[in-house]
Structure 1
Amino acid sequence: MSLMADPPGADRLSVRVRRGTSAWHDAAQRSGFLDALAAGRLGWEAYADLTAQHWFVYEALESAATTMADDPVVATFLFPELRRLPSLEADLRFLYGANWLDQATALPATTVYCTRLRDVAFRAATGFVAHQYTRYIGDLSGGQYLGPAIARAYGLPSPDGHRFFHFAGVEPASFKAHYRGLLDGVPWSYPQQNEFIAEVAEAYRLNIGVLTELHHKWS
């Protein structure tokens, strides 16, 4: 009896990470909270709260990008057009007003998420790229459906209140293909690749924790 060989390219990091984290990715996609938002079944305050939680996460992640910018691997993955903090802050000003920072409060699950980011993304390229990959590739995937759905559900004028989902000058499919090509070229050892894949799974788990807490709070 012959064993079926892996398809060509199965050892590429971009393939390994998708295969190794598919269960976590699928679980994140099944968020009842995001489904309820997209359908307009929750008050606008629930969407504003999600936006606030995003701000805390991206503040940590984009601070890590600044700290790690001299790392040769991290430098390969730094794209100014991906930065979300300016868009999030504009959204929060629209949703909460000028004193938005006084009203934005990190949920316990968000605090755990940010603590993990500060533990791993500021110290090692594997940690930084894992969290960057999970956030931005997700934003350029499901986020491209979620943003317009939320705008329709809550009557948000374009682009006020949902700038977070707009990536000026970025074509999602082309960018994701380019990003995966960069992943495949990273000179990491197999153990480092495994560390990266494990941290992507952890990032998905942490994100699910935030969404679950939001669901319990607003449903």
Structure 2
Amino acid sequence: MTTTSLAPSELVKLPLSAAMKQGSALEHDQAEQSAFIDALLGGRVNEAGYAVYLRTLRPVYAALESVGRDLAAAPLVAPIFDAGLERLAAIDSDIDHWAPGESHSIESAAASAYVEAITESTSWAGLYVAHHYTRYLGDLSGGQAIGTLLNRAFELEGKGLSFYDFAEIGKNKPYKDTYRAQLDAIGAGLTDDERLRVVDEVCTAFRLNQALFAEIGANLDQYRR
């Protein structure tokens, strides 16, 4: 478990992708250690709980993708913008599988706070880059483990798991390697203060995720499998 982060003077010496990862290591670990994520990864969350998870995430991706399209031509966003990453349609499809007939929307203070932060990232595109990285690279990394676990635990044979299917982008590892290289190219054009601002926003994004998981976890007894 990683429990330390580098000092700002050390972070600015790193390529941006490494600074984003190492500078947010503590917040990343804290988000992953939430009771809900622990139960989800342990196969102890039922269908209703997973549906709530998807429905809570939905407005986050709606904001991420709306803002992303608005900023797609911005110099800081263009290198990483890829419509093939978009998850909103996949989430809607999965909600229909896990909670047929239910509304795709759900009241969530944590999701609303997350949406607000993404919306405010239009003030400087570097902030949006932080949110793009946190969500999509997470989906291409640890998120894949969740998809595999759900497929096995519920014997889904791939059904209801569109959220984890990134067929449009090709092989996972080469894509992530290219993505990190693009982040590093973006970082090369930033000042030290701007690079630290991006890292700070990644930390914020992980804290927002942690709050979202905590909100769902408050009702974990209802979702135990």
Common topology (TM > 0.5): yes
Superimposed CA distance per residue, residues 21-64 of structure 1 (whole angstroms, 9 cap, x where no aligned partner): 11111122223212212333232110001011121110000000
Show the counterpart of 1:81.
Answer: 84
- Tell me the TM-score normalised to structure 2 length: 0.86
Contact 2:48 2:99 in 1 (8 A): no
CA–CA distance in structure 2, aligned partners of residues 215 and 69 of structure 1: 34
Instruction: Among all aligned residue pairs of Structure 1 and Structure 2, give the percentage whose two residues are the same amino acid.
Output: 32
- How many residue pairs get aligned? The number is 209
Structure 2 partner of 1:216: 218
Partner of 2:99: 96
Aligned to 1:107: 108
The residue matched to 2:123 in structure 1 has which SS? coil
Whether the aligned pair in 2 keeps the contact of 1:151 and 1:157 (CA below 8 Å) is yes
- Cα-to-partner distance string for 1:165-197 (whole Å, 9 max, x where unaligned): 111043222111111111111111111111100
Which of 59, 62, 74 is the equivalent residue of 1:59?
Answer: 62
On the 8 A contact 2:60/2:111 being kept in 1, the answer is yes
Provide the residue aligned with 1:156 in structure 2. 156
After superposition, what is the alpha-carbon deviation per residue over 1:132-189, rounded to whole angstroms, capped at 9, x for unaligned?
000011011101111110222233341x211101110432221111111111111111
Q: 1:35 aligns with which of 35, 38, 44?
A: 38
Query: 1:1-219 alignment to 2 at 5 Å?
Result: 11-101=14-104, 104-120=105-121, 122-158=122-158, 160-168=159-167, 169-186=169-186, 187-219=189-221
The two structures, once aligned, show a CA RMSD in angstroms of 1.9
C-alpha distance in 2, partners of 1:15/1:99? 41
Aligned equivalents of 2:49 and 2:102: distance in 1? 18
1:94 CA displacement: 1.6
TM-score calculated relative to the size of structure 1: 0.88
